[in-house]
Amino acid sequence: MKHFELAFKMFDLNGDGEVEFDEFETVQSVLLSSTAMGVRHRDHVINGNVASSVGGALAVHFFGKKLDQKLTIEKFQEFHTLLNTEILLMEYLRYSRELGLAKLMNSVVACSAKAVKDKLGIEA
C-alpha cells in the first residue's frame, strides 16, 4: 500500500490529502509528455480525436460528472481493488473457456480415433 500512498501524493499537488481534477490533469499531462505513447495520446487530444485529456469515464468516476468532487486515497484504493478483481475474473473466464475447448477437442479426437480403429477393425 505504500506505493499507492506515494503515487497518490504525487497527484496531491496542494498536499491536502485529496486530489482535485485540475491536480490530476496537471500530473497526467506531465506523465503523458514523458513517453512516446503519451505524446501520441496527447496529440490525439489536441487534434480532437479524444473526448478529453483524461479518459472521460475515468474522470467522471473519480471526480463526478461536473469534475468537482475530490478523489481520496480510499476511493482510489477501492477502484484499484475492483479493477484487479475484474481483470482476474476476465482471465479466469478466458482460461476456463480455453480449458473447456481443450477438453472438447480432446474428446472429439479420442472419439474420432476410436471410430477409425473400429472401422478398420483395430483393437484399442
Model pLDDT for residues 23-53, shown as the tens digit of each residue? 988 888 887 777 776 666 555 555 554 444 4
Condensed to tens digits (0 to 9), the pLDDT of residues 81-112 reads 899 888 888 877 776 776 776 666 666 566 66
Predicted pLDDT of residue 101: 67
Residue 75 predicted with pLDDT over 80 = yes
d(CA 31, CA 39): 9
Give CB contacts under 8 A, 24+ apart, made by 33-37: none
Q: 114, 124 in Cβ contact below 8 A? A: yes
pLDDT of residue 4: 74
Tally of CA atoms within 13 A in the half-sphere of 14 that contains its CB: 9
Show the cell assigned to 107.
Answer: 474428446
Give the pLDDT mean for 10-19. Answer: 91
Residue pair 17/71 in contact (Cβ under 8 Å)? The answer is no
The whole-number pLDDT of residue 66 equals 93
Query: What fold is seen in the domain 2-120?
Result: Recoverin; domain 1 (1.10.238)
User: Does pLDDT of 69 surpass 90?
Assistant: yes
Q: How far, in Å, CA of 14 to CA of 12, rounded?
A: 6
pTM over 0.85: no
